[in-house]
Amino acid sequence: MMMTSNFIWYELMTTDVDAAQKFYGHVVGWKTTDSGQADINYRILMAKDEGIGGITAIPVEAISMGMKPIWFGYVNVPDVDAAITQITAAGGLVQWPATDIPNAGRIARMTDPQGASFYIMTPSGEGKSTAYAEGVPGHCSWNELRTSDGKAGLRFYSEQFGWTNTNSMDMGPMGTYHVFSAGSGDIGGMMTMSPECQTPMWLYYFCVDDIEAAMERVVAAGGIVSFGPQQVPGGGWIIHATDPQQCKFALVGPKN
């Protein structure tokens, strides 16, 4: 029986680590701590006393090749190397080869067949990740794939990670929204992107305790709100935004 995988880490690669740390600290409330990696400026994002992700700089060579600031999600797998073989056989590509990270685990950066990027990871520790925790401020509360072919994306990720389609909603001109579960509840959705979204991507929704107050903080800190607040099924409210380094992200929370 296939192991069902989930997101266990979120990582921002950006052009200005200090500015990003200040922005998200103000907007989401994250504190940071040093990762202890001597060869890289990698900062751990802390939601209270729990690490949920990291911030690091985009390498200069990657910037020269056109890489822009981006949020990545890490999906746990039992064996990174075996997962690479399986993902590439299904049409995915390796962006960054399998690498061992001291005291963390083995990781690789991949793209799905439509081009959306994500990491796979086999953690070295035994602790359970709380990076994804729906409805908990400071944690990710939804994972959304915007792609050129929602049905193909659903099929690919279901085959790779054991995710199941629990609901499909007709969004009118926006097409069908496919909600998926990692076995213990819905964790995200997939949809065919609108024409103005040219690049397939994962969009991560970080939880806040008041969506309107958070929206004000985004703008005050130099970000741009591009959508919302909009109420979603379940009663929460969302916004889509761009940080000062032009990285897209989303927030979800109640309207108080």
Residue 2 domain flag: no
Given a cut of 80, whether residue 197 has pLDDT beyond it is: no
Altogether, the residues listed in the chain come to a count of 256
pLDDT tens-place string over residues 98-143 = 999 988 999 999 999 999 999 999 999 776 899 999 999 999 999 9
Question: Residue 24 contacts by C-beta under 8 Å, 6 or more apart in sequence?
Answer: 12, 30, 45, 55, 243
Structure tokens at 78: 């039992």
CA distance 102 to 87: 24
> Of 194, 195, 209, 211, nearest to 250 (Cα)?
211
pLDDT band at 200 (very low <50, low <70, confident <90, very high): very high
Residue 128 domain flag: no
Question: Is residue 116 located within the same domain as residue 47?
Answer: yes
Given a cut of 70, whether residue 195 has pLDDT beyond it is: no
- Residue where a domain stops, chosen among 94, 123, 152: 123
Question: Is residue 110 located within the same domain as residue 203?
Answer: no
- DSSP strand E in the chain: where? 7-14, 31-34, 43-47, 50-57, 70-76, 93-101, 105-111, 117-123, 140-147, 164-170, 176-181, 186-192, 201-207, 224-231, 237-242, 248-253
pLDDT tens-place string over residues 71-102 = 999 999 999 999 999 999 999 999 999 999 98
> Of 251, 248, 245, 182, nearest to 215 (Cα)?
251
Structure tokens at 178: 């496919």
Question: Is residue 151 located within the same domain as residue 95?
Answer: no
Residue 71 domain flag: yes
- Which domain, by its residues, includes 184? 140-253
Question: Is residue 96 located within the same domain as residue 144?
Answer: no
pLDDT tens-place string over residues 209-241 = 999 999 999 999 999 999 999 999 888 999 999
Question: Is residue 147 located within the same domain as residue 70?
Answer: no
The two most distant CA atoms of the chain are separated, in Å, by 51
Question: Is residue 115 located within the same domain as residue 150?
Answer: no
CA distance 236 to 234: 6
Residue 129 domain flag: no
| CATH code, 176 | 3.10.180.10
Which pLDDT does position 3 carry in this prediction?
Answer: 56
Under the phi-then-psi rule, with left for phi > 0, alpha for psi from -120 to 50, and beta for the rest, what region is 157?
Answer: alpha
CA distance 146 to 200: 6
Which pLDDT does position 173 carry in this prediction?
Answer: 74
Which pLDDT does position 64 carry in this prediction?
Answer: 94
Give the CA count within 13 Å in the CB-facing half-sphere of 209: 4
Q: Find the mean pLDDT for residues 142-171.
A: 95
